[in-house]
Structure 1
C-alpha cells in the first residue's frame, strides 16, 4: 500500500500523547493496532510502518480461507499473496503490488474469476484512460494474478492475456539541461544541504533511494560503495573532486550525508518531496531528483562515453534503458560530428599553372 500523508501523518496513523506525555504514533486498521516509532520518518519508522501494513494484508489473508468466496478475486488475491512468486519480490515491490491489488479488490473482490471476459478487462482498463500509467500497471498485475489462477486450475484461460494497454508517449522525468543546473546552483550556494543534494545526485548518477543511504561508512579510499536498492547492483564509484569537496566538512557521526531536520536519514519519498521544494525555490518546478541522474547520463553521452561505460556508472544492465537516459544528449552537437564524419577528410591539392613564355600575353 502506498503511504499517503494527511496533516503530516501516513495512512492509518495518528499522533497521540501517552500518560507520560510522550509523543507516539499509533497505527490502527483492520485488526492491527500498534504503536510505531516517533517521529514518523526515517528507516526505523519506515520498517515498522511496512510491517504494520503487511499486518493488514496478513490479517485479510488469515480470514481469507473462511470468509472469501472460492473462485473470487478476493480468494485469488489471498492465494497470490501467499505464493512464492509474490513472497520472492522486493519489499518495495510488494507494497506497490498490494496497493494496486487492494484498490482493485474494493470494486471487484466479490466477483468470480470464471465470469471475467476479455471485453470486461478491456472495459476496466479503458475506464482508466485519464490515468494511462496506472491502467497499464493494473493490466500487468491482472495478467500475473490470473496466470496464478490458471496454474491452480481455477480458470481455463487468462482473459487478460493479449489485452493491450495504453501507448507510452511520455518521455519520463525531464532531463536537466546545463542552464537549469546553473540556476539551481545560483539559488543554493556551496555549503547548503540543497547544494549537497544536487552534488550527490549529479556526480554519482544514482537514484534518490541510493543517494539517501550514502554516508562515511560507504567511503573506501577514492571510491564510494553503492548497492542499488532497486536492482541490487553493487557499484564502486570514483569520487570526483566536486563530490569530495562537498562531503569533506560533513560530520562523521551522522549515519548518512543527507539528514532531515530531526537529524535522521531521509526516506526516498521524503527526500524526493524535500528536493522538489528546493527545485521550486530555484524556479525549476519541472525538474526532479531523477532528472539529475538522466543529466549525468546525458553528460557522459555528450562526452563520447560508450554505453558500457555509462552502464558501469548508472548500474543499468539493459542497453535499451541506457539509450532512454542518454536521449537528451545534445543532438545538434552530436549530429554535427556525425555529418563531419560523413564528409570525411578531403585532400587539398594545389593546381599548377603552366609558366608563360617570355613575351606571351596573359590568356594567350
Structure 2
C-alpha cells in the first residue's frame, strides 16, 4: 500500500524523470524539500520550514502598488504599531481596515485628505465612527513615520454625538438579587465576587489565579494594555475563593469541563448566570466593574487611586467616576443646606392637601 505524503507536501516528476517535492502551505510560497517523503533528510527540512516564516506571503502583496493604501497596510500589519496591540485589538482594528482596503486599497495613501475621511465618517453611525477612527489612527501614525504621507488627515475630524451612557453599573438591589440566587461556593458567585471586588474586566478575570496573589495582594497586568494593577483580596473575595473545591488549575475560574474560560466564553456564561438570577439584560460583567469604580469614587477614592486599582493608563478614565461622585456629594450637601434654611417648608406640616402658608427665609448678604 502506497504511503500518503506528509501534510502540505506536493510532488511531481520533472521532464528529466526526477521526483520533485515542495512544501505548499496556504499564504506561503512553495519551498523545495530534499530527498524523499518521510526520509530523515526530508522530514528535517520540512520541520525547519514549518517552524519558520520562510515563504510567507502577505495577503494581497502581489496586487498592491507602491504607495497605495494596500501597500501601507502590508507594512503596518508587520510594524510595532500593530503587533504591539493586544490580540483582541488587532482583530477588531484589522477588520475595520480591511473594509477600508476593499473600498480604497488602490488609491495613493499620500492623497488621503481630511475631506475624504470626514465623508467616510459621515456615512457611519456614531459608534462605528469611533471604531473606524481608532483603527485608522494607528495606520496613519505608521504612514507618517515612514513618510508615506506628510499630513495627518484625521486632524480636525468631527464625530457625531454618541447618545449612550455605556454599560449599566449594577444597582445594590441587583447585586442582592444575584447573591440570593448564587450562594458562596458556586462558580457563579466566585465570578461575581472577582468582577465586583477586584473590579477588573472579563479578559483579566479569567486569567486570575493563586499564583498572582502575594500577602493578600493580587498583582497582574491588564491583558489589553499591559498596564499593571494591584488589588487587595477583600474578605468577601477570599471567602468566595476558599469555598471552592481544591484545584490544581492556574485560574480560579474553570468551565464545567474543567478547562479555563476564554473571555468571550466567560461573557456568554456569565450572561446566562444573570438570566438564571432573573436580572434584566442590562446587567453585564462589565457593569460590575463600573459599579465597583462608582462605589470607590463615592467613598472618596482619588483619580490616581482608581488608576492604580483598575489598571487605567489615562486619568480621564478615572475622572469619569470621581467627577460624578463629586457631583453627587455636592448635590447632597446642597440639599442639606436647603433643608437647614427651611426654604419652602410648611410652617405647620399637617397635610399636603390643605392650603398652608410657607415661611420665606430672607438670606442676608
2:295 to 299, 302, 323: 299
Quote how far apart the aligned CAs of 1:248 are.
Answer: 0.6
1:289 to 257, 277, 285: 285
Q: CA 1:175–1:124 in 2, change beyond 3 Å: closer, same or farther? A: same
Match of 1:118 in 2: 114
Matches within 5 A, 1:43-192: 62=58, 64-114=60-110, 116-129=112-125, 132-192=126-186
Quote how far apart the aligned CAs of 1:149 are.
Answer: 3.3
Quote how far apart the aligned CAs of 1:169 are.
Answer: 3.3
Quote how far apart the aligned CAs of 1:168 are.
Answer: 3.4
Quote how far apart the aligned CAs of 1:181 are.
Answer: 0.7
Q: Summarize deviations over 1:117-155 as a string: whole Å, max 9, x none.
A: 4333222211112xx222222134334424433444444
Distance 2:137 2:309 in 1: 34
Is the aligned partner of 1:279 residue 2:274? yes
Quote how far apart the aligned CAs of 1:334 are.
Answer: 5.5
Match of 1:258 in 2: 253
Contact kept? 2:27, 2:58, Cα under 8 Å: no
Contact kept? 1:74, 1:105, Cα under 8 Å: yes
Match of 2:264 in 1: 269
Task: Specify the SS of the correspondent of 1:203.
Answer: helix
Q: CA 1:59–1:101 in 2, change beyond 3 Å: closer, same or farther? A: farther
Quote how far apart the aligned CAs of 1:292 are.
Answer: 0.7
Q: TM-score, normalization: structure 2?
A: 0.69
Distance 1:104 1:93 in 2: 17
The two structures, once aligned, show a CA RMSD in angstroms of 3.3
Contact kept? 1:294, 1:326, Cα under 8 Å: no
Q: Summarize deviations over 1:9-62 as a string: whole Å, max 9, x none.
A: xxxxxxxxxxxxxxxxxxxx9638xxxxxxxxxxxxxxxxxxxxxxxxx99853
Contact kept? 1:61, 1:78, Cα under 8 Å: no
Task: Specify the SS of the correspondent of 2:224.
Answer: coil
Is the aligned partner of 1:210 residue 2:204? yes
Q: Summarize deviations over 1:292-347 as a string: whole Å, max 9, x none.
A: 11111222222233333333322224332112245665965652235558999xxx
Q: CA 1:324–1:142 in 2, change beyond 3 Å: closer, same or farther? A: same
Task: Specify the SS of the correspondent of 1:99.
Answer: helix
Match of 2:232 in 1: 238
Contact kept? 1:302, 1:329, Cα under 8 Å: yes
Task: Specify the SS of the correspondent of 1:164.
Answer: coil
Structure 2, unpaired ranges of 5+: 1-24, 29-53, 341-365
Distance 1:312 1:115 in 2: 43
Distance 2:112 2:275 in 1: 46
Match of 1:226 in 2: 220
Is the aligned partner of 1:322 residue 2:330? no
Q: Which has the larger radius of gyration?
A: 2
Q: CA 1:244–1:157 in 2, change beyond 3 Å: closer, same or farther? A: closer
Q: Summarize deviations over 1:232-275 as a string: whole Å, max 9, x none.
A: 23333221111111111322312211111221111112111211
Contact kept? 1:205, 1:292, Cα under 8 Å: yes
Worse overlay, 145-154 or 270-279: 145-154
Contact kept? 1:215, 1:257, Cα under 8 Å: yes
Distance 1:312 1:116 in 2: 40
How many residues align? The count is 292
